[in-house]
Amino acid sequence: MSFVAWKDRRKVMPDLKAVYRAEMLEAATARLDEFESRWGERYPAVAPAWRRAWEHVVPMFAFPPAIRKIIYTTNALESLHRSLRKIIKTRGSFPSDEAAAKLLFLAIRNAGIRWRRPVDWTAAKGQFAILFEDRFPGSAS
């Protein structure tokens, strides 16, 4: 979205969301083509940027929609990252790597206390248990 003017972001975003929320890869490609035909003249850098990063978008379509929603909704990760950065910034320098590791450990432990389950986690959890039965705890039949 860094290529899009602030005044147009609310208009452009739904068309980009249609790309990564598509049911199948072919539909996502079609949505990107539609986006480019609608916005390509005004914002010529957006669609090519998506096409350059397409190899990172494509693997997402190997997962069911419930898992994809968890993948592209990264609010929990962003919140954790923000809290870790805040902890590190306020301390300045560290006497050793071990001191930094201890501080990060405590920050992650405290973040776990405040953590709330992402929306639609139950549906995604079921899909994870099906896809990764050998690696997902509690999924043994």
pLDDT in tens, 15-63: 999 998 888 899 999 999 999 999 999 999 999 999 999 998 888 888 8
**Is residue 77 predicted with pLDDT exceeding 80?**
no
| DSSP classification of residue 94 | -
Residue 122 belongs to some domain of the structure: no
pLDDT band at 96 (very low <50, low <70, confident <90, very high): very high
Shared domain check, 92 and 52? no
CA 130 to mean position of chain CA atoms: 21
**Is residue 69 predicted with pLDDT exceeding 90?**
no
Shared domain check, 10 and 50? yes
Shared domain check, 25 and 56? yes
pLDDT tens digits along 81-92: 888 898 888 887
Residue 99 belongs to some domain of the structure: yes
pLDDT computed for residue 132 by the predictor: 84
Shared domain check, 54 and 100? no
pLDDT band at 138 (very low <50, low <70, confident <90, very high): low
| DSSP classification of residue 116 | -
pLDDT tens digits along 119-130: 788 888 888 888
Residue 135 belongs to some domain of the structure: no
Shared domain check, 18 and 58? yes
Q: What's the CA angle centered on 60, arms 54 and 62, to 5 degrees?
A: 120
Positive or negative CA dihedral for 38, 39, 42, 46? negative
Full domain range(s) for residue 42: 6-62
Cα(101)–Cα(21) distance, integer angstroms: 37
Shared domain check, 102 and 55? no
**Is residue 112 predicted with pLDDT exceeding 80?**
no
pTM of the model: 0.60
Shared domain check, 106 and 85? yes
Residue 106 belongs to some domain of the structure: yes
Residue 139 belongs to some domain of the structure: no
Cα(12)–Cα(34) distance, integer angstroms: 12
